[in-house]
Amino acid sequence: LHGGNIVLHSDNGSETEKDFRTSRPLICDFGLSRSVNSRESNPTIRGVFPFIAPEVFHTRKFTTKSDIYSFGIVMYLIATGEQPFRDRQFDTSLICDITSGLRPSMP
């Protein structure tokens, strides 16, 4: 995804990673993507909360590192078959805990 140093996906999640009956996952839905060189921040955070990197809640800026965090959460979902933070409501309390270091536990 970042090999060409061109695009930040900014919205990785289980719905944007598709298999299409091949042995290779495909990343799709680039609707929120932007140039890696973009210095633009987002007044409104868009995306799927469990997949948004903690620093995005502070900086309102997506980076290659935030894409990698999101991809890690996708890998968690694949490895466990369960949503991260499945025992919590997706609200400001959970966001505060995530920005303070909370990470999904492995079952």
CA 50, CA 80: separation in Å to the nearest integer? 15
Measured in degrees and rounded to the nearest 5, phi and psi for residue 27 equal -95, 130
Is there a catalytic annotation at residue 19?
no
Give CA–CA dist 85/104, Å, rounded: 6
DSSP symbol at 51? G
Catalytic residue among 11, 29, 67, 91: 11
Write out the catalytic residue numbers: 11
